[in-house]
Chains A and B, each alone.
Chain A
Amino acid sequence: MAFKFSQENLDKVNEAIKRYPEKQAAVMPALWIAQEQNGWISNEVMHEVATILEISPEDVLGVVTFYTMYHQKPMGKFHLQVCTNVSCMLRGAYELYENVKKNLDIENMQVTTDQKFSLEEVECMGSCGTAPMIAVNEDYYENLSVEKLNKLIEDLKKSA
């Protein structure tokens, strides 16, 4: 499926290009904008970004595969990121993680059949003082317990 930036997003990409002396530097902002529009980074997205920035698609691929936050496949509407690093682990992150797995019946980096949820075990999110935590898409939910987490997932299931 071909990918084109919407006019609004194309303006944003051009705005990003202006911030740097070389066009290539705008690859990360451009990919962020593309991911927001498309949901994930497909081959077509990479080709489009490469064309706009006048670099090879391989350069873009190298960046996409290096950084973990660019999704290389479609993720759920709610992408749940559970931090299991030490500070969170000491305060029960693995219970949360196992609980999400059981609750949604998916494993790490899998998507539920209704495309609503996906799960990712992530490294430290900088929320050690408010551990354990999960992030839903861009938002942090901190100081969680299994009960609070289940309530959150139920609320998300009901919404939309």
Chain B
Amino acid sequence: MEKIVLPEIKDLHLIDIYLLNDGYTAAKKAFNQSPDDIIDQVKKSGLKGRGGAAFSAGLKWSFMPKTSSKPKYFCVNGDESEPGSFKDRQIFEFNPHQLIEGILITSFAIGAKVSYVYIRGEYHKWIRLFEKAVADAYQHGFVGESMKEKFGTDFYCDIFIHQGAGAYICGEESSLMNSIEGKRGYPRVKPPFPAQYGLWGCPTTVNNVETITNVPPIISKGWEWFSKIGEPKHPGTILFGMSGHVNKPGVYELPSGTLLTDLIYNYAGGVPGNKKILCVIPGGSSMPPLRGDQIEGVKMDAESLKAVGSAIGTGGVMVMDEDTDLVKVLARIAKFYYHESCGQCTPCREGTGWLLKILNRILRGEGSVNDLDLLISVANNIEGNTICALGDAAAWPVKFMVMRFRDYFEARVKKEVQLPVANKVHSMRNTAFPLSEINN
């Protein structure tokens, strides 16, 4: 199977090897066309954002104003903090020049003179590796003012790396921009969207690392070629990050639409001890989990996962075997969002704390059946009521885990609600059990 983002070529991270493999020829080809042509080709290729929202990359670029009195900026999102997601670091390590070339082409298409690559603070090693690649590209004249001479165009751009410092929320595009501006990573209210009012109030585009790494092959091999790979509505390959209870965890680059069961059993080597699968989270911890008996025939692409009530997210697949304590897993997920909520919006700031508190109560064996409804109610009150998607990300796993594993969770809670004053009728209200079940 053809690999687009992480080709199996030894030492491809070295600029000389990259050049031997037609490196930087896509950029040259792109600079001989008009920016509108490039946007059009990427739009037609059907390339979707790989950062979680699966939004059309070409369409996003077309939102950038054609003429602007202000400078334009381009940001590459390498914050990669979604639990279960560890793909971008592979690009920084094994194919950084294709990313750089993608940045050059995108900057040209949207008219940005400066781009910032935002890399999470914990990735010291990968920041150093990518810094080296950028320095090499500068030295060879592929980036910066010497581009004019190298490519024989009027266009040139600079690439800078911005190191994060440990905040999940900075993977959200407006928060990422605030972080680059030297502020707390608070998401901004949209509209205005980044294309109108982004970095320092200037038109800005933010794309994921994997998305941009897909751009050079689209330009060199043509959009028709790309649009035919995998599922037509979400074409190309996806870097699937397999983790949890699988024999061979790791990143697998496969066409979109690959069967989830294929991923788990063929590529990731199945579940240790041949245990049954209890639960799978298909796209990083914020996406709705699927039951183990629900995964047969599920294809891994945005449309197919939507149809079964989940989402592709970042393609980070977490597999849990039948012995997993789901309450513990969900409590850990809730703890994560409680820790990472930026604190701007009340529903998220307070709600994530409530979710964690209730789940910990269930974990201690003190939960009642009322708590399950309370969890869903709190989650519903967070979802859609916050500035950014972190609220949804915190609500979805809780809501869908409790809904889809209702039997599992009911077995873990007391059937009766403990009230200071014993009142059987009231204690049974708002629960899944009908009043007729009361014995006496």
Contact residues of A with B, CB < 8 Å? Answer: 19-22, 24-29, 31-32, 53, 55, 59, 62-63, 66-70, 81, 84-87, 89-91, 122-131, 135, 138-140
Flag if A127 contacts B86 (CB, 8 Å).
yes
> Does B250 lie at the interface of the complex (its beta carbon under 8 Å from any beta carbon of A)?
yes
> Does B404 lie at the interface of the complex (its beta carbon under 8 Å from any beta carbon of A)?
no
Flag if B182 contacts A87 (CB, 8 Å).
no
- Name the segment of B121-129, B140-148, B254-262 touching the other chain: B121-129
Mark out the residues of chain B between 271 and 292 whose CB falls within 8 Å of any chain A CB in the assembled complex.
Answer: 281, 285
Which chain A residue has the least Cβ–Cβ distance from B244?
A90
Flag if B168 contacts A123 (CB, 8 Å).
yes
Query: Which of B84, B86, B166 contacts A68 (CB under 8 A)?
Result: B166
Which chain A residue has the least Cβ–Cβ distance from B249?
A129
Known: A32-B121, A63-B183, A128-B249. 16 other contacts (CB 8 A): A25-B180, A28-B164, A69-B165, A86-B244, A87-B83, A87-B243, A87-B318, A90-B329, A124-B81, A126-B81, A127-B86, A129-B242, A130-B249, A131-B243, A135-B122, A140-B125
> Does B322 lie at the interface of the complex (its beta carbon under 8 Å from any beta carbon of A)?
no
Contacts of A25 in B (CB 8 A): 180-182
Q: With A and B bound together, what is the CA distance between A124 and B163 in angstroms?
A: 17
> Does B241 lie at the interface of the complex (its beta carbon under 8 Å from any beta carbon of A)?
yes
Query: Which of A22, A91, A124, A127 contacts B200 (CB under 8 A)?
Result: A22
9 contacts between A and B (CB under 8 A): A28-B165, A86-B83, A87-B244, A123-B339, A123-B340, A127-B86, A129-B251, A135-B122, A138-B125
Contacts of A90 in B (CB 8 A): 243-245, 318, 320, 324, 329
> Does B63 lie at the interface of the complex (its beta carbon under 8 Å from any beta carbon of A)?
no
Flag if B84 contacts A84 (CB, 8 Å).
no
Which chain B residue has the least Cβ–Cβ distance from A62?
B184
8 A-B pairs with the lowest CB-CB distances in the bound complex, closest first: A67-B165, A128-B243, A69-B166, A138-B124, A68-B166, A124-B83, A87-B243, A27-B182
Most buried by A among B71, B245, B320, B332: B332
Flag if A128 contacts B339 (CB, 8 Å).
no
Mark out the residues of chain B between 311 and 329 whose CB falls within 8 Å of any chain A CB in the assembled complex.
Answer: 316, 318, 320, 324, 328-329
Q: How far is the CB of B199 from chain A (nearest CB, A)?
A: 9
Q: With A and B bound together, what is the CA distance between A128 and B86 in angstroms?
A: 7
Flag if A126 contacts B120 (CB, 8 Å).
yes
Flag if A63 contacts B122 (CB, 8 Å).
no
Contacts of A20 in B (CB 8 A): 180, 182
Contact residues of B with A, CB < 8 Å? Answer: 71, 80-86, 88-89, 120-125, 160, 162-168, 179-185, 200, 241-245, 249-251, 281, 285, 316, 318, 320, 324, 328-329, 332-333, 336, 339-340, 342
Flag if B316 contacts A128 (CB, 8 Å).
yes
Contacts of A127 in B (CB 8 A): 86
Flag if B86 contacts A126 (CB, 8 Å).
yes
Contacts of B160 in A (CB 8 A): 19
When A129-B243, A135-B122 are in contact, do A86 and B181 touch as well, CB less than 8 Å?
no
Which chain B residue has the least Cβ–Cβ distance from A70?
B165
Contacts of A53 in B (CB 8 A): 182
Q: With A and B bound together, what is the CA distance between A127 and B126 in angstroms?
A: 12
Flag if B184 contacts A63 (CB, 8 Å).
yes
When A32-B163, A126-B89 are in contact, do A87 and B184 touch as well, CB less than 8 Å?
no
Q: How far is the CB of B263 from chain A (nearest CB, A)?
A: 13
Q: With A and B bound together, what is the CA distance between A54 and B248 in angstroms?
A: 51
Q: With A and B bound together, what is the CA distance between A122 and B83 in angstroms?
A: 12
Most buried by B among A25, A81, A91: A25
Q: How far is the CB of B131 from chain A (nearest CB, A)?
A: 12
Contacts of A24 in B (CB 8 A): 181-183
When A126-B122, A126-B123 are in contact, do A68 and B318 touch as well, CB less than 8 Å?
no
Most buried by A among B80, B81, B83, B328: B83
Q: With A and B bound together, what is the CA distance between A97 and B180 in angstroms?
A: 33
When A28-B179, A86-B333 are in contact, do A68 and B165 touch as well, CB less than 8 Å?
yes
Query: Which of A63, A135, A139 contacts B182 (CB under 8 A)?
Result: A63
When A90-B244, A123-B81 are in contact, do A69 and B185 touch as well, CB less than 8 Å?
no
Q: How far is the CB of A24 from chain B (nearest CB, A)?
A: 4
Q: How far is the CB of B275 from chain A (nearest CB, A)?
A: 12
Q: With A and B bound together, what is the CA distance between A140 and B122 in angstroms?
A: 9
When A123-B83, A126-B86 are in contact, do A67 and B200 touch as well, CB less than 8 Å?
no
Flag if B84 contacts A87 (CB, 8 Å).
yes
Contacts of B179 in A (CB 8 A): 28
Contacts of A126 in B (CB 8 A): 80-81, 85-86, 88-89, 120, 122-123
